[in-house]
Structure 1
Amino acid sequence: MRLINKLLTPAICAAMLLSGQQALAEGDLTRRPVKLPNLVLGTEDNRYYLSQTRYELETGKSYKLKIISSGQTEYAIKAPRFFQSIFLRKVEAGDMEIKAMSLTELEFEQEGEAEIYFVPIKTGEFEFYSAGLEVKGMKGIFSVK
């Protein structure tokens, strides 16, 4: 009986692993991200301009979002609940590629841009804003289905 148990245990584990693979998504979810419309912060005419106030996303899809600062003022982009509900692949800024587990904020002290690569993993409506400039209209929503 012990011999049968010793033989069956690896077979059962292998069957469980194989059946589990069928439930996984095919391919690498971080490849070929969907390019979202750029998020532009300020213009020469309106330092509080925000090009997008709503992004429609889906869980399990890979996205890249370019955030462009006009440099008209300092912008600190925050999205605390959203940043906690995504798989962050990387952030590209200047000549750097930053790989981290999460974000707290993206602060632009002058003109510049950053691109974030991520996969939403939780549904909901998540606010993003430029800290201190929300009353000027610099806020929006990431809507994840």
Structure 2
Amino acid sequence: MKALFKPLLGGVLLSAAICGPALAHEFGFAGILDHANKEELPELTLSSGKPVSEAPWKLKSGKVYEVEIVSDGTAELGLEGSGFFRAIWINEVVVNGLEIRPYGLDSVEFDEAGTMEIEFLAIKPGRYFLRQPGTTGESQRVEIVIE
């Protein structure tokens, strides 16, 4: 009888690891969303005429990251990067203390000054970018490598 429940328990624990902290907490199993697996990335800045990032990002598949995107309101600015957004799983986007749990993103935009925080799990290895829409300058983008 015990042998019948082992696969079931394994499936529950795997679901807990993937489905998020609330379910994982129920079973005492934090999995990939455990805070020990999370790393803060350097802030991205959206400001007219200023670089978005100081350096490229080098990420590891299976690791959780958190990034703050800050706009100073000097212009209506955003970031696009559908390839990158499809290579990650987004746990949450936080804007003004409101947590949003989307299925996915294609881009984000600021109409005025503010801060947005995105927590995500890097999944698909490859080379990606986030850039200000309609720009071609190297300083208006951040290069991203997921290993």
Bin the TM-score by the shorter chain.
0.7 to 0.9
Q: For residue 108 of structure 2, what is the amino acid of its counterpart?
A: L
Q: Contact 2:53–2:139 (CA<8 Å) still a contact in 1?
A: no
How far apart are 1:50 and its partner, in Å? 1.8
**Which residue matches 1:96?**
98
Indicate which of 27, 39, 42 corresponds to 1:34.
Answer: 39
Which SS does the other structure have where 2:33 is aligned?
Answer: coil
Indicate which of 105, 121, 126 corresponds to 2:123.
Answer: 121
How far apart are 1:14 and its partner, in Å? 4.5
How far apart are 1:48 and its partner, in Å? 3.4
Which SS does the other structure have where 1:29 is aligned?
Answer: helix
Q: Contact 1:41–1:51 (CA<8 Å) still a contact in 2?
A: no
Which SS does the other structure have where 1:134 is aligned?
Answer: coil
Q: Contact 1:40–1:52 (CA<8 Å) still a contact in 2?
A: no
**Which residue matches 1:85?**
87
As a proportion of its length, which structure holds more helix?
Answer: 2
Unaligned 5+ runs, structure 2:
18-28
**Which residue matches 1:140?**
142
Q: For residue 31 of structure 1, what is the amino acid of its counterpart?
A: D
Quote the Cα distance in structure 2 between the aligned partners of 1:53 and 1:128: 12
Q: Contact 2:88–2:124 (CA<8 Å) still a contact in 1?
A: yes
| Rg larger for | 1
Q: Contact 1:47–1:72 (CA<8 Å) still a contact in 2?
A: no
Quote the Cα distance in structure 1 between the aligned partners of 2:112 and 2:106: 19
Identity of aligned residues (%): 26
**Which residue matches 1:6?**
none
Deviation string for 1:53-97 (max 9, x for gaps)? 411111111110000112111212011011111111000011311
Quote the Cα distance in structure 1 between the aligned partners of 2:6 and 2:96: 48
Q: For residue 105 of structure 1, what is the amino acid of its counterpart?
A: S
Task: Specify whether residues 73 and 19 from structure 1 end up closer, same or farther in structure 2 by C-alpha distance, changes over 3 A only.
Answer: closer
How far apart are 1:31 and its partner, in Å? 3.0
Task: Specify whether residues 13 and 102 from structure 1 end up closer, same or farther in structure 2 by C-alpha distance, changes over 3 A only.
Answer: same
TM-score, normalising length from structure 2?
A: 0.76
Quote the Cα distance in structure 2 between the aligned partners of 1:18 and 1:100: 28
Task: Specify whether residues 95 and 41 from structure 1 end up closer, same or farther in structure 2 by C-alpha distance, changes over 3 A only.
Answer: same
